[in-house]
């Protein structure tokens, strides 16, 4: 009877060990920077008041981080034991306690710099696995009767020990998988971008309109959309990286990282966009890239006159087919190493990616790029073209209403604003129409260059009632955005972005 608290408490500890172990493995596979233990540790470091940090360093010196993790571990064991004890009495409360712990882990993961939705998965897995394991183990806590006690005790210890062992093995696997990603993160964090030999012309005054809720002219890296097929972000050590240019060329070229960053690098603003962006969607972003012109590298390789395509390949086997003229004409098609003043974030292609103004990402923006094969469209196909997407992907002229995105407003002046783009051509005009009425010209902000989106705004004198706003853009070469609706497959969506507004 004395031990009535012991078995449930052990069940709690084993269940939490199982859950966290499995979560480490999931983190290793899907989200190497979202190990629940480590993100909680990082959150504690962020939240700790300065005196606590000083005290920890005074007490533990350089072992302060180990001390923190050991401390978190002890608190976890205590909480897990308590949850187990509670589960034997008030199962619902115990589950709530574990769920609260899991949510704390999710918040910790999501508040890390550059986190994505994937980073919420490990802590979610931990909480679900721990709740299920705890219910299962609780049912097997030993009977107290002297006759069956011994056997059921041994059986319980087998189950609890088994769960803990599975957790431990999973955790070890997960930690091994995470190590590679952490090593590359460390390399990236200490890498200082070389200075640009050619800086981008300053952003013109008036390019950024002061409208609440409009897309920022330059998209912060943490908010930049991410699209790729990489379940695990490739971990490329820059010192091991090289780019091979081969195929229909006179000279095969191999470029190493040291050679690349020693070249005169150029800065340029380019707006990148995904072909899967629906009209009005968010798969578009503008950044200041730092890189070296692909044109120069291809000149070194001397492509054959018969070549009409460059198939770029990433370390994880993704391929994109770019028309060779887009990489050899005078546009800023680059091999990029920097994004908004930082080394490329891991998810955006560290250490090296391509950026080509005017082409959708799937035919040009290869991240973690390691190979360029100079070839022909009739000889090679690329990852997405094999899956039904168009062989060529020039970006279509388009525009988006950022504000208002619905809702209700008072009658009178309502500021409508957004962005418009036709990379490598440029936008000449943006117009707004209310309830399919006449198109009225909006105010167009200065453009950074023809490869970037441009902001616009329109002051609408709104009458009470339900209204629908539409926007359309006209490019510098006179092309007017079509209202004909087409889905994203096979070569990008068309149609007008439309927003319903209620005016009081």
Ligand X SMILES: Nc1nc2c(c(=O)[nH]1)N[C@H]1C(S)=C(S)[C@@H](COP(=O)(O)O)O[C@H]1N2
Distance separating alpha carbons of residues 10 and 187, to the nearest angstrom: 41
Candidates 225, 377, 409, 439: give the one binding ligand X (CB under 6 A): 225
Among Mo ion, ligand X, none, the one that 224 touches (CB under a kind-dependent 5 to 8 A) is: ligand X
Q: Does 393 bind Mo ion (CB under 5 A)?
A: no
Distance separating alpha carbons of residues 388 and 395, to the nearest angstrom: 17
Closest to ligand X by CB, 7 or 384: 384
> Which CA distances in Å does 319 have to 231, 313, 351, 362?
16, 4, 17, 8
Closest to ligand X by CB, 45 or 283: 283
3 state SS for 25-45:
HHHHHHCCCCCHHHHHHHHHH
Distance separating alpha carbons of residues 234 and 367, to the nearest angstrom: 9
Q: Does 377 bind ligand X (CB under 6 A)?
A: no
Candidates 18, 85, 159, 224: give the one binding ligand X (CB under 6 A): 224
Candidates 18, 156, 159, 362: give the one binding ligand X (CB under 6 A): 362
Beta 427-434 vs 465-475: how paired, if at all?
antiparallel
296-325 binders of ligand X (CB under 6 A): 314, 316, 318
Per the CB < 8 A criterion, the answer to whether 215 and 271 are in contact is no
- Which residue is it, tokens 């709690």? 12
Nearest distance in Å: CB 367, Mo ion? 11
Distance separating alpha carbons of residues 251 and 299, to the nearest angstrom: 10
Candidates 274, 339, 344, 403: give the one binding Mo ion (CB under 5 A): 274
| Terminal C-alpha separation, the chain | 70
Q: Does 60 bind ligand X (CB under 6 A)?
A: no
The binding track of 218-247 with respect to Mo ion, each residue x by CB under 5 A or -, is ---------x--------------------
Query: Could you tell me which residues are beta bridge partners of residue 347?
Result: none
Nearest distance in Å: CB 214, ligand X? 20
Nearest distance in Å: CB 365, Mo ion? 8
Closest to Mo ion by CB, 72 or 230: 230
Q: Does 365 bind ligand X (CB under 6 A)?
A: yes
Distance separating alpha carbons of residues 448 and 204, to the nearest angstrom: 6
Return the exposure string of 331-369: e unless at least 16 CB atoms fall within 10 Å of the residue's CB, then b: bbbbbbbbbbeebbbbbbbbbbbbbbbbbbbbbbbbbbb
* Residue whose C-alpha is closest to residue 175's, from 317, 274, 44, 33: 33
Nearest distance in Å: CB 274, Mo ion? 3
Among Mo ion, ligand X, none, the one that 65 touches (CB under a kind-dependent 5 to 8 A) is: none
Distance separating alpha carbons of residues 294 and 365, to the nearest angstrom: 12
Q: Does 362 bind Mo ion (CB under 5 A)?
A: yes
* Residue whose C-alpha is closest to residue 310's, from 299, 319, 321, 296: 321
- Which residue is it, tokens 């079509």? 482
Nearest distance in Å: CB 398, ligand X? 14
Residue 351, preceding bond cis, omega within 30 degrees? Answer: yes
If one counts every other C-beta atom within 10 angstroms of the C-beta of residue 155, the result is: 13
Judged by CB under 6 A, the stretch of 32-40, 194-202, 359-367, 463-471 that binds ligand X is 359-367
Q: Does 228 bind ligand X (CB under 6 A)?
A: yes
Judged by CB under 6 A, the stretch of 203-211, 224-232, 398-406, 494-502 that binds ligand X is 224-232
Candidates 289, 292, 368, 389: give the one binding ligand X (CB under 6 A): 368
* Residue whose C-alpha is closest to residue 124's, from 109, 143, 140, 139: 109
Among Mo ion, ligand X, none, the one that 340 touches (CB under a kind-dependent 5 to 8 A) is: none
Nearest distance in Å: CB 284, ligand X? 9
Q: Does 274 bind ligand X (CB under 6 A)?
A: yes
Closest to ligand X by CB, 23 or 274: 274
Nearest distance in Å: CB 128, ligand X? 29
Q: What strands, in cross-sheet order, belong to the sheet with 408-409? A: 408-409, 497-503, 465-475, 427-434, 440-441
Per the CB < 8 A criterion, the answer to whether 465 and 476 are in contact is no
The binding track of 381-410 with respect to ligand X, each residue x by CB under 6 A or -, is ------------------------------
Distance separating alpha carbons of residues 451 and 459, to the nearest angstrom: 26
Distance separating alpha carbons of residues 79 and 93, to the nearest angstrom: 13
Nearest distance in Å: CB 362, ligand X? 4
Judged by CB under 6 A, the stretch of 125-133, 172-180, 364-372, 453-461 that binds ligand X is 364-372
Nearest distance in Å: CB 244, ligand X? 16
Judged by CB under 6 A, the stretch of 63-71, 148-156, 227-235, 455-463 that binds ligand X is 227-235
Number of shown-chain residues binding ligand X (CB under 6 A):
19
Q: Does 361 bind Mo ion (CB under 5 A)?
A: yes
User: By Cβ distance, which residue is nearest to Mo ion?
Assistant: 274
Distance separating alpha carbons of residues 98 and 138, to the nearest angstrom: 15
Q: Does 229 bind ligand X (CB under 6 A)?
A: yes
339-358 binders of ligand X (CB under 6 A): 348
Residues of this chain that interact with Mo ion (CB under 5 A) are: 227, 274, 361-362
Residues of this chain that interact with ligand X (CB under 6 A) are: 224-230, 272, 274, 314, 316, 318, 348, 361-362, 365-368
């Amino acid at each position: 009877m004395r031990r009535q608290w012991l078995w449930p408490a052990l069940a709690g500890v084993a269940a939490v060990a199982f859950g966290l172990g499995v979560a480490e493995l999931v983190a290793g596979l899907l989200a190497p920077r979202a190990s629940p233990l480590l993100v909680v540790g990082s959150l504690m470091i962020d939240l700790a008041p300065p005196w606590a940090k000083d005290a920890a360093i005074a007490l533990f010196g350089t072992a302060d981080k180990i001390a923190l993790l050991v401390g978190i571990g002890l608190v976890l064991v205590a909480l897990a034991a308590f949850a187990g004890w509670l589960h034997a009495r008030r199962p619902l409360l115990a589950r709530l306690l574990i769920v609260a712990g899991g949510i704390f882990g999710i918040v910790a993961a999501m508040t890390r710099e550059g986190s994505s939705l994937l980073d919420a998965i490990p802590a979610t897995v931990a909480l679900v696995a721990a709740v299920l394991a705890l219910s299962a183990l609780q049912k097997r806590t030993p009977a107290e009767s002297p006759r069956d006690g011994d056997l059921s005790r041994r059986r319980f210890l087998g189950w609890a020990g088994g769960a803990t062992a599975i957790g431990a093995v999973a955790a070890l696997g997960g930690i091994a998988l995470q190590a590679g990603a952490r090593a590359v993160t460390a390399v990236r964090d200490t890498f200082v971008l070389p200075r640009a030999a050619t800086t981008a012309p300053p952003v013109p005054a008036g390019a950024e309109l002061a409208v609440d809720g409009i897309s920022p002219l330059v998209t912060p890296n943490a908010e930049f959309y991410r699209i790729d097929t990489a379940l695990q972000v490739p971990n490329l050590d820059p010192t091991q990286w090289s780019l091979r240019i081969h195929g229909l060329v006179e000279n095969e070229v191999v470029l190493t990282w040291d050679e690349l960053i020693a070249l005169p690098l150029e800065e340029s603003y380019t707006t990148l966009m995904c072909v899967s962006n629906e009209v009005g969607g968010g798969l578009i972003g503008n950044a200041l890239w730092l890189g070296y012109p692909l044109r120069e590298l291809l000149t070194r390789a001397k492509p054959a006159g018969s070549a009409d395509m460059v198939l770029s390949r990433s370390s994880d086997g993704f391929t994109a087919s770019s028309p060779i003229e887009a990489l050899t004409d005078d546009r800023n098609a680059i091999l990029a190493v920097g994004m908004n003043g930082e080394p490329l974030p891991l998810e955006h292609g560290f250490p090296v990616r391509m950026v080509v103004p005017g082409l959708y990402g799937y035919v040009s923006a290869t991240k973690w790029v390691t190979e360029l094969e100079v070839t022909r469209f009739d000889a090679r196909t690329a990852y997405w073209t094999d899956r039904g997407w168009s062989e060529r992907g020039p970006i279509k002229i388009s525009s988006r209403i950022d504000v208002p995105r619905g809702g209700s407003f008072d009658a009178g002046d309502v500021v409508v604003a957004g962005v418009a783009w036709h990379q490598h051509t440029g936008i000449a005009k943006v117009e707004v129409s209310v309830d399919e009425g006449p198109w009225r010209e909006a105010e167009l902000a200065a453009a950074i260059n023809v490869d970037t989106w441009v902001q616009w705004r329109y002051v609408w004198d709104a009458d009470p009632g339900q209204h629908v706003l539409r926007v359309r853009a006209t490019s510098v070469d006179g092309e007017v955005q079509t209202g004909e609706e087409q889905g994203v497959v096979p070569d990008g969506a068309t149609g007008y972005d439309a927003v319903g507004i209620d005016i009081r």
